[in-house]
A = this chain, B = another copy of it.
Amino acid sequence: MSSTPPLLPRKSPRQRRSQLTVASLLEAAAQLLETQGLEGFNTNAVAERAGVGIGSLYQYFPSKDALTLALLEREAARFEADALAALEVPDGPAALRHLIRASVRQQLERAELARLLDEQEGRPELRAHLDKGRFGQLINTLLQRPGLPPQADAALAAADVAALIRGLVDGAGERRETDLAHLQCRVEAAVFGYLERAAAAARGLQGRECESGMRAGAAPA
């Protein structure tokens, strides 16, 4: 019947006690991923660290992937709670900076966890069940705001901005950077730099070879 193993939560915890169990499991999973890496991320260890029996894990998550997925969603929710506030900001650049700040915070707070979860997102079994675009869509919306250079293909630009933020912040995480403000600066440089030049390229040079290197005059005086 069920060829692909199930990923939807097996049962939603109604009682107080079980909600606690589920939360413990997710946090245990997060901690293991952080401290032991993928290596130590196995269901027995998760259950043990959560202080519950392995059976309890499978009461709530029908498979290991379902657990991973739930963790991914927990982190996504955590992020969105922070990031959606950007929608309140009418000014484009300000809103974008807000979003970048949320990204940087999220990724640096639990850097290794974030990095490993990003990897898991790439696994084909999980990708199907993921609202992959949400981050991109949010950016897409913000790109329409006044004060930002208009993009030819806004969706693509949004995806690029998302990828670029992620790349920079992951890299910083790997180097164990902790200076949020400094990192924020550099990410902004990349994002706004990209947007400006991409817009310029689209405007000026339809069809011609892309030419966005350092030109005389483009470099600041």
Contacts and interface: CB of A to CB of B under 8 A. Distances in A.
Interface of A: 3-4, 37-38, 92-94, 96-97, 115, 119, 122-124, 147-149, 156, 159-160, 162-168, 170-172, 174-175, 181-182, 184-186, 188-190, 192-201, 203, 209-210, 212-214, 218-220
Given A167-B170, A193-B193, 19 more contacts: A38-B123, A92-B214, A159-B175, A163-B172, A165-B167, A167-B167, A185-B198, A185-B201, A190-B190, A190-B193, A192-B197, A192-B212, A192-B214, A193-B194, A193-B195, A195-B214, A196-B219, A199-B220, A200-B220
5 contacts: A38-B123, A96-B213, A162-B171, A163-B171, A185-B212
B198 A212 contact: no
If over half of A's interface residues share one DSSP class (helix, strand or loop), that class is named, otherwise mixed; here it is helix
Contacts of A38: 123
B193 A189 contact: yes
Residue from A96, A162, A163, A174 with most neighbouring chain B CB atoms (10 Å): A163
Contact of A197 (B94, B123, B189, B210): B189
A189 B210 CA distance: 9
Contacts of A147: 214, 219
Contacts of A149: 214, 219-220
Nearest to A136: B171
A212 B188 contact: yes
A166 B211 CA distance: 20
Contacts of A119: 119, 122
Contact of A164 (B167, B181, B198): B167
Given A37-B124, A210-B184, A210-B188, A196 B220 contact: yes
A195 to B, nearest CB: 8
B194 A186 contact: yes
B186 A203 contact: no
A220 to B, nearest CB: 5
Contacts of A122: 115, 119, 174
A188 B218 CA distance: 14
B171 A168 contact: no
